[in-house]
């Protein structure tokens, strides 16, 4: 279905080369004007040009969501440009330490929580008046790490579990103002970042990318990995009027690797 976000204004934080970019572009393809937020301005400009070339509208705002003044500037720029905000997609995250918790540096955990949890909370707080006016939506990008306790994912799971808890509490607190808050929990995302990682692993262990893919996908019901566009589309659904009666939920997009 096309134009799920027609005439809507969507703010996407954490616009990087992977899911963030795809989220922004597909929001534009669904009819939204998109505000692009990340620390790297040049990356934002590239995505904005891509959206513009498709005939869409995009505003770039270099933003550090761990800094309150920077986050406030994002809100101001969004409202100055478009006069309203209908959805906020919190996509910013930090790469996990990938060490056992017994050997994980506390500063790394603090930094992850500051960005993943408090950054999303900060933006949600600041955009609440605008979202209340539009009866809008917040979509927090989570991870399937909340569904397992595999070794070396501890610090990542701590941050993402806290994000889920915050999302549920925000859904309850902001619901009376007409604001919906939901989460998307992707599995392994078959996009450029994972392809590069699999290529590195294949070279390291003397195997092929296809073999690593098949081994990884074997644990899913569909025997494949979700693609970047499929994860983005789940977030767009939750941000759209089609999900007007859905709040406080977490939609897992993992091709059936974990059931919830």
Kindly give the confidence (pLDDT) of every residue in the chain, 260 residues in length, as a single tens digit, with 9 standing for 90 and above. Answer: 579 999 999 999 999 889 999 999 999 999 999 999 999 999 999 999 999 999 999 999 999 999 999 999 999 999 999 999 999 999 998 877 889 999 999 999 999 999 999 999 999 999 999 999 999 999 999 999 999 999 999 999 999 999 999 999 999 999 999 999 999 999 999 999 899 999 999 999 999 999 999 999 999 999 999 999 999 999 999 999 999 999 999 999 999 999 98
Distances in Å between the Cα of 120 and the Cα atoms of 5, 71, 221 are 22, 10, 31
Nearest to 15 by CA among 54, 57, 52, 65: 65
According to the model, what pLDDT value does residue 11 have?
A: 98
Q: What's the CATH fold of domain 9-188+228-247? A: Rossmann fold (3.40.50)
According to the model, what pLDDT value does residue 1 have?
A: 58
According to the model, what pLDDT value does residue 202 have?
A: 96
Domain ranges of the chain: 9-188+228-247, 190-225
According to the model, what pLDDT value does residue 94 have?
A: 81
62 pairs with which residues across the strands?
38
According to the model, what pLDDT value does residue 95 have?
A: 78
According to the model, what pLDDT value does residue 74 have?
A: 98
Q: Burial code of 4-37, b = ≥16 C-beta within 10 A, e = fewer? A: bbeebbbbbbbbbebbbbbbbbbbbbbbbbbbbb
- Measured over the CA atoms of residue 249, residue 47, residue 30 and residue 187, the dihedral's sign is negative
């Amino acid at each position: 279905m096309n134009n799920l976000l027609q005439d809507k204004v969507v703010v996407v934080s954490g616009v990087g080369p992977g899911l963030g970019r795809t989220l922004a572009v597909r929001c534009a393809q669904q009819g939204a004007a998109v505000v692009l937020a990340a620390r790297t301005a040049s990356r934002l400009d590239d995505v904005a040009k891509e959206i513009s070339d498709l005939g869409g509208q995009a505003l770039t705002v270099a933003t550090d969501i761990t800094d309150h003044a920077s986050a406030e500037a994002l809100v101001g720029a969004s409202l100055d440009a478009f006069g309203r905000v209908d959805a906020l997609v919190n996509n910013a995250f930090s790469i996990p330490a990938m060490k056992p918790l017994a050997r994980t540096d506390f500063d790394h955990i603090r930094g992850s929580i500051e960005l993943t949890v408090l950054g999303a909370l900060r933006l949600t707080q600041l955009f609440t008046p605008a979202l209340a006016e539009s009866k809008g939506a917040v979509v927090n990008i989570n991870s399937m790490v909340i569904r397992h306790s595999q070794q070396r994912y501890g610090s990542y799971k701590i941050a993402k579990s806290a994000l889920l808890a915050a999302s549920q509490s925000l859904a309850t607190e902001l619901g009376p103002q007409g604001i919906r808050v939901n989460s998307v929990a992707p599995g392994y995302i078959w996009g450029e970042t994972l392809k590069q990682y699999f290529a590195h692993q294949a070279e390291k262990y003397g195997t092929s990318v296809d073999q690593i893919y098949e081994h990884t996908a074997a644990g899913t019901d569909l025997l494949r990995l979700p693609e970047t566009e499929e994860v983005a589309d789940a977030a767009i659904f939750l941000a759209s009027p089609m999900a007007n009666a859905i709040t406080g939920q977490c939609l897992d997009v993992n091709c059936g690797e974990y059931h919830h």
